[in-house]
Chains A and B, each alone.
Chain A
Amino acid sequence: MPEPARALLVGAVAYHPRVVTVWEGFRPYFAERGLDVDYVLYSNYERLIGALVDGHVDLAWNTNTAYVAAEARLGGEALVLGMRDVDAGYATVLVARAADGVRGPADLAGHTLALGSRDSGHAAILPLHFLEAEGVPLAEVRLLRFDTDLGKHGDTGDSERRVVEAVARGEAMAGALGDATWEQLRVQDPGETAGLAVVWRSPTYSHCCFTARPELDSELAGRWLELLLEMSHDDPAMRHAMDLEGVKRWMPGDKSGYGELTAAMRQQGYLR
C-alpha cells in the first residue's frame, strides 16, 4: 500500500481574524494540486518559532524578526521557502510634519523620535540601527515607544498608527514606520497623514518569509515552493486571499536581505 502523501503543516500568527480567511483560501489551492497543506495559528511569534524549532510545524510564516530569531536557533541552517513581492525591498521611512521643515535624520538630535512596538523589525529595531549608521547621536534623541501588540512584531500596524498620530500631534518630531504601512495609512486615513511628509527612507531589507528546518524533506519543500510561485493574482479563486495577505506575486526569497536586521538584533540584545 502506498504511503499517504505527507501533509505540510504551516504555522502562522493570528494577528487579525483575516488570517483564517487567508489560509482557508490557500489550503484548497494546494490540495487541488496534490499537496496537503494545513495550518496552525499561534498568538505570538515567539511560540511559533518554538514550534518550528521543536518540529511541531514544518513551515513558519515569519516576520523578519522571527526569521532571524529562528535562524539563530537553527544554527544558521534554516531554509527560506518563499516570500511576498512586498517583502523584498522593504524599507523604513521617517515621517515628520511638513511644516516643521525636518530635512532628515540629522535634525533629530535633541528631539523626540516615535517608534513602533519594540519587537517590530521595521518600526523599531531597524530604524535605530540605520539611524545610528547615518551618524545620528541616539543618546541625544528621546525615544517615544508605542509597545502595543507585543509578540506580533508590528503585524497589526497598531503601533505605527500611534507613531503617526504622535507626530501629527507634535508629540514627536519624527516617527519611524514601514513604508508599506505608511502607504496604507495614506489611503486609509488621509486626514491624519495629510500634513506629514516622508523625510527619509532607509536602505532596503527583506521582511516576511516562510522558514523551515534544514531537515525538511527536499521533495516536499520543492513542491511547496513550486506551487507557491505558481499561485497567480490573476486567478479569480485566489485573488481575494492573496489580497488579504498583501501579495501579488510570490518570490522564492533568500537570506540576503536579513543581514542588517541580524546585526541590529544582536547589537540591541534580541539574540543571545
Chain B
Amino acid sequence: MLLAAVLEPAGPGEEVELSVASRSIALELHGWARLAGHAVVDDRGDGPRRLVRVRRGGSRRVLAGPLPPPGPGARLRSGEFHITDWRAGAAPAPDEADPADGFVPLAAVAEQGAPAFQWTLSRRDQVWADDVARLVEGASGAQWDASRDVPWREAAGLPDHLERAVCQVMAYLAQNEYAAYYVPARFLGQVHPAYAEVLLWLASHVHDEARHVEVFTKRSLVNGGRAYALASTQRSLHALLRERDFTSAALLLNVLGEGSFLDLLEFVAAHAPDAATATAARLAHRDELRHVRFGLSHVRRALTRDPSVETRLVAAVEARSGQLTGMTGLDPLVTESLTLMAAGSLQAAQVAEGARAVRDLLARMAANRVERLRAAGLGERTARYVSDLHTPNLM
C-alpha cells in the first residue's frame, strides 16, 4: 500500500528503490509489481536486507487528472458545520450540471469511465430554493418519533361517535399524507446529485410525510377503530400525482395543499378531544410549516428568475382542476367528522357551533391560500383565480 502510494504520483518509467528486511517480501514484490502494471528491475542482497528496484508502469490507477490542492475548510458556527457556509467559501451550486454525471459528492473529482446517468432535474432553477440548506438544518433538528412522542394512552375513552369522527378525520389526513409522501419521493430520484441540499431536503420531506402517515394511521388504529378511505379524496390525490413538473408540483403540493393543511392541522389540534390526537396534529403541523416555506421559496425564486413560469403554473392548476370537475366540496363525511370534533357533543347547539367552526375554517383556508399564493410571487388576480381552482379536497 505504501509502495503504491509512492509510485502513484511518479511518472511512467521512474524508479523507486526499496530496502526490505525480509527475503519473502522481496520475492513477493515481483508478482505484486507485475499485477499493478509495474516491474521489478533489480533485486539484490544487501547484508540481511534486500534492495528491490521497482519501475513504475504507464498505467494510471484513477482515470482522472491529479487532485486539485485542498480548498478552504468549513467555517464552523459554534462548532456546527452548515453546508451553506461551505458553499459560501468553496463553490456555489452550479447553474447547470451535466445530466450524465454520476454520484460525485461535493468537491470530489469524477473518474472517467463511469456509466452515464440521465438526471432530468439538472438545472438549479428547476429545483432550488435559496433557503433550502437552512430548511434542511431545521428538518434534521426537528425529528420526532410517532411511537414514543405521542401520549397514546390519552387516546382512550372517547364516546363512540367522537372516536368514529376522529378515526375518519385521521384516515382522511393519512390519505393526504400518502400523496405528500409520493410526490417528493418521485422527484427525489430525478434530481442531479450536484444539488445535494435539494436531495437532503426531499429526503427529509419524504421522511416527514412517512411519519405523518404513521402517526395518523396509528391514531386511527389505537382504539381499534375503522374508517373509510374516501374515493373523492383519492381522486384529488391521484390528479396531484400526475404532475411531472417540479415547480408546478411544489405549488400544488407545498403551497396549496400543505398550506391548506396548516389551517386544518391547527383546527384538529385545537378541537382534538384527546391529547394523542392533539399532539399528532401539532407535530405534523411543525413539519408542514417547513414544507410550505420550501414551496413558497422555490416558486417565488422560479417566478422571479423567469416570469413565464406563471403560465406553466396556472396551466398546471387548470389541468388538475379540469380533472376534478365533479368535486363540489370537501367530502361530507369529513366535514361531518370535523364538525363533531369541534362540537364535542351531540347537543344541537354545540353541533351548530361545530358547523360554524368548520365554515370558519374553510373561509380561513381560502383567505390564507390567496395570501400564500401572493407570498409565492403571484399577482392578486392570478392568486385569486388559482385559489378558486384549488381542489375542494384541500390537498
Contact = CB atoms under 8 A, between A and B. Distances in A.
Given A234-B60, A248-B57, A200 B27 contact: yes
Contacts of B32: 183
B24 A199 contact: yes
Interface string A183-218: 110100000000001111100000000000000000
A119 interface: no
Interface residues of A, number: 27
Interface in A166-182: 179-180, 182
Contact of B58 (A200, A239, A249): A249
A180 B34 contact: yes
B9 interface: no
B231 interface: no
B31 A93 contact: yes
Interface in B84-108: none
B57 A201 contact: no
B253 to A, nearest CB: 40
B27 A86 contact: no
Interface string B12-44: 000000000010100110111011010100000
Contacts of A86: 34-35
A167 to B, nearest CB: 14
Contacts of B229: none
Contacts of B37: 85, 233, 248-249
Contacts of B24: 98, 197-199
Contact of A183 (B22, B31, B59, B63): B31
A237 interface: yes
A184 B35 contact: yes
A180 B60 contact: no
A200 B23 CA distance: 9
Chain A CB within 10 A, most for which of B31, B34, B58: B31
Interface in A214-235: 233-234
Nearest to B112: A236
B27 A89 contact: no
B113 interface: yes
Contacts of B39: 89
Contact of B31 (A182, A199, A237): A182
A29 to B, nearest CB: 14
Chain B CB within 10 A, most for which of A199, A200, A201, A239: A201
Contacts of A237: 113
Contacts of A90: 34
B34 A182 contact: no
B51 to A, nearest CB: 16
A91 interface: yes
Given A93-B27, A198-B27, A234-B63, A183 B35 contact: yes
A239 B113 contact: yes
Contacts of B27: 93, 198-201
Nearest to B63: A236
B28 A183 contact: yes
A8 to B, nearest CB: 26
A240 interface: yes
Nearest to B43: A201
Chain B CB within 10 A, most for which of A89, A197, A198: A198
B234 to A, nearest CB: 46
Nearest to B111: A236
Contact of B59 (A180, A234, A246): A234
Given A201-B27, A201-B30, A233-B60, 8 more contacts: A86-B34, A86-B35, A182-B31, A197-B22, A237-B113, A246-B35, A248-B37, A249-B57
Task: Pick the 7 closest A-B CB pairs, nearest first.
Answer: A179-B31, A236-B113, A248-B37, A236-B112, A197-B24, A248-B59, A198-B27
Interface of A: 85-86, 89-91, 93, 98, 179-180, 182-184, 186, 197-201, 233-234, 236-237, 239-240, 246, 248-249
